[in-house]
């Protein structure tokens, strides 16, 4: 064994723990500057030393840092240690030095091994500091959009569930001078007085989502669960039964009100319903200007679209799809408080709410999703025969003794749906 190679005895001395079972390691001064290269067997021994020192150092420093010390071990290969200077009096110094590869060591020529060292970095002159050329704009890549992100700029993943995210109070034009002419005898449990806002809207949606329309016995459990999961900001006093009573009464009213075409939801069994139907439509390239132009072309009011460009997928959840007499309908529950009288939920007031909230874009996107879904699942699908239209139920005003109130119905043309579908596919003609 030549002089340029550490002897087994020297390396063994570094690894010697002073006897089996003892916790303190024996520290031996060994000059690592003398050898120019280490043999393979000695590298293995030195690697063992390095790993042991790393664990010991972590045990010492972790309590001080109040965090788990992540130790990065340097991979040892056959390399020259001739640039190391001085001796190695402490085991911790060996690890702190890291036995780094040679290209790193010349950066620390004055480092004194085994003693605390303060590194002072030279400060460049201000006149020598020059800003780098900014990189080219980075392509944002594909993203997942939703109705909310298109119409309202919402960016979160949960925005795909459009549960009345921008609820407003009563329509001033509809409520001016209106009086409450309800024929209900118990106003305390009228849904008109249920709390307002986004949380209350999610609570109402949860109730409709988890009940069996045809089995009123299932309603109390769904109501209790919805109130527990989405507690609205109550201002109903100390009576804890008032909220559940409001929701139960609302269900009885909404589900027994005849809808356009004669449908009564309380008679629609679970086998003819799809609740919270999720869709993910591929969108190679969709621009805000092109979408706004398409809406205007087909006569729909459009919200101000500022999303720029969407490339990726359009994701959403349709509150309810149901089948009646061979036709499939999109239904969306709306908890907007438009006022306290029947006039506040008449057609003119609903039209203003639909325009103001941008709901036309919402139901058109949902209709395109259903159009594609049925084309893939329904044999001999014919949109003219199988698409029934969209129903937006403003549930605070839907009740049998207010006929025609709170119900917005529209059936988009097949030409409109085909145009929007092609626009999403980036195949629409200008």
pLDDT tens-place string over residues 108-129? 333 344 445 455 556 667 777 7
| Cα 44 to the center of its chain, rounded Å | 49
Answer yes or no: is 281 within a domain. Answer: yes
The model's pTM is: 0.64
Among residues 107, 126, 151, which one ends one of the domains? 107
Helix/strand/coil (H, E, C) string of 138-173?
CCCCCEEECHHHHHCCCCCHHHHCCCCCCCCCCCHH
The CA-atom distances, in angstroms, between 78 and each of 48, 71, 82, 122 are 15, 22, 12, 34
Answer yes or no: is 132 within a domain. Answer: no
**Nearest CA among 327, 330, 412, 407 for reference residue 366:** 330
CA angle, 223 then 233 then 155, to 5°: 90
**332 catalytic, yes or no?**
yes
SS3 270: helix
Q: Choose the weakest-confidence range: 34-38, 176-180, 388-392, 409-413.
A: 176-180
Domains: count for the chain: 2
Whole-angstrom Cα Rg for the chain: 36
Does one domain contain both 200 and 345?
Answer: yes
Domain of residue 227 covers 143-424
Q: Choose the weakest-confidence range: 131-135, 223-227, 321-325.
A: 131-135
pLDDT of the residue at 305: 87
Among residues 80, 107, 134, which one ends one of the domains? 107
pLDDT of the residue at 328: 97
Answer yes or no: is 221 within a domain. Answer: yes
Tell me which range, 14-28, 89-103, 153-167, is most confidently predicted by mean pLDDT: 153-167
Residues with Cβ < 8 Å from 340, sequence gap 6 or more?
Answer: 170, 175, 178, 180, 182, 192
Among residues 84, 107, 130, which one ends one of the domains? 107
Answer yes or no: is 130 within a domain. Answer: no
Does one domain contain both 291 and 375?
Answer: yes
Residues with Cβ < 8 Å from 172, sequence gap 6 or more?
Answer: none
The band of 302, judged by pLDDT with boundaries at 50, 70 and 90, is confident
Please give the structure tokens belonging to residue 295: 């809406």
Does one domain contain both 332 and 214?
Answer: yes
The C-alpha atoms of residue 180 and residue 166 are separated, in whole angstroms, by 25
The C-alpha atoms of residue 228 and residue 224 are separated, in whole angstroms, by 6
In percent, how much of the chain has pLDDT > 70? 61
Does one domain contain both 91 and 211?
Answer: no
Answer yes or no: is 189 within a domain. Answer: yes
Torsion of CA 333, 337, 341, 347, to 10 degrees: -50
Does one domain contain both 323 and 417?
Answer: yes
Residues with Cβ < 8 Å from 209, sequence gap 6 or more?
Answer: 275, 276, 319
Q: Could you read off the pLDDT of 39-72 as tens digits, one per residue?
A: 566 666 666 666 666 666 555 555 544 443 333 3
Mean pLDDT of the chain: 74
Does one domain contain both 165 and 26?
Answer: no
In percent, how much of the chain has pLDDT > 90? 47
Decide the pairing of beta strands 143-145 and 309-324. Answer: parallel
Does one domain contain both 102 and 151?
Answer: no
Give strand pairing partners of 274.
Answer: 321
Answer yes or no: is 23 within a domain. Answer: yes
Q: Could you read off the pLDDT of 340-378 as tens digits, one per residue?
A: 999 999 999 999 999 999 999 999 999 999 999 999 999
Q: Which DSSP letter does residue 67 get?
A: S
Q: For residue 291, is pLDDT > 80?
A: yes
Residues in the chain: 430
Backbone dihedral region for residue 346 (phi beyond 0: left; psi -120 to 50: alpha; all else: beta): beta
Catalytic residue, chosen from 332, 344, 382, 425, is: 332
pLDDT of the residue at 152: 72
Does one domain contain both 55 and 173?
Answer: no
CB 350 within 8 A of CB 373: no
Does one domain contain both 30 and 177?
Answer: no
pLDDT of the residue at 372: 96
Answer yes or no: is 116 within a domain. Answer: no
Does one domain contain both 89 and 166?
Answer: no
Q: For residue 298, is pLDDT > 90?
A: yes
Answer yes or no: is 284 within a domain. Answer: yes
């Amino acid at each position: 064994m030549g002089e340029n190679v550490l002897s087994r005895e020297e390396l063994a001395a570094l690894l010697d723990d002073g006897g089996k079972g003892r916790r303190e390691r024996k520290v031996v001064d060994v000059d690592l500057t003398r050898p120019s290269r280490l043999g393979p067997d000695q590298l293995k021994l030195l690697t063992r030393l390095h790993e042991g020192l790393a664990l010991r150092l972590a045990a010492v420093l972790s309590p001080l840092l109040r965090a788990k010390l992540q130790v990065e071990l340097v991979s040892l290969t056959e390399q020259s240690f001739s640039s190391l200077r001085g001796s190695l009096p402490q085991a911790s110094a060996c690890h702190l030095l890291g036995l780094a590869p040679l290209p790193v060591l010349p950066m620390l020529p004055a480092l004194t091994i085994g003693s605390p060292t303060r590194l002072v970095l030279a400060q460049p002159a201000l006149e020598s500091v020059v800003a780098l050329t900014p990189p080219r704009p980075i392509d944002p890549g594909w993203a997942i959009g939703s109705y909310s992100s298109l119409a309202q700029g919402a960016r979160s993943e949960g925005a795909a569930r459009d549960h009345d995210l921008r609820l407003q109070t009563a329509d001033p034009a509809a409520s001016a001078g209106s009086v409450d002419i309800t024929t209900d005898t118990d106003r305390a449990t009228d849904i008109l007085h249920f709390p307002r806002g986004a949380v209350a809207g999610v609570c109402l949606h949860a109730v409709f989502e988890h009940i069996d329309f045809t089995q009123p016995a299932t309603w109390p459990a769904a109501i209790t669960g919805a109130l527990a999961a989405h507690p609205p900001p109550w201002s109903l006093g100390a009576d804890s039964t008032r909220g559940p009573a409001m929701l139960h009464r609302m269900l009885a009213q909404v589900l027994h009100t005849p809808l356009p075409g004669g449908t009564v939801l309380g008679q629609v069994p679970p086998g003819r319903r799809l609740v919270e139907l999720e869709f993910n439509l591929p969108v190679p390239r969709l621009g805000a200007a092109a979408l706004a132009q398409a809406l205007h072309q087909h006569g729909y009011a459009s919200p101000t679209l500022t999303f720029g460009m969407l490339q990726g997928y359009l994701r959403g959840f349709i509150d309810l799809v149901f089948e009646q007499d061979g036709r499939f309908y999109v239904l969306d529950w709306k908890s907007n408080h438009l006022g306290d009288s029947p006039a506040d939920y008449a057609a003119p007031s609903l039209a203003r709410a639909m325009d103001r909230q941008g709901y036309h874009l919402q139901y058109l996107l949902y209709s395109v999703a259903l159009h594609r879904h049925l084309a893939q699942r329904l044999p001999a699908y014919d949109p003219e025969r199988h698409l029934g239209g969209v129903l937006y139920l403003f549930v605070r005003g839907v009740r049998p003794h207010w006929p025609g109130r709170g119900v917005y119905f529209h059936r988009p043309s097949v030409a409109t749906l085909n145009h929007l579908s092609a626009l999403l596919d980036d195949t629409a003609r200008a």
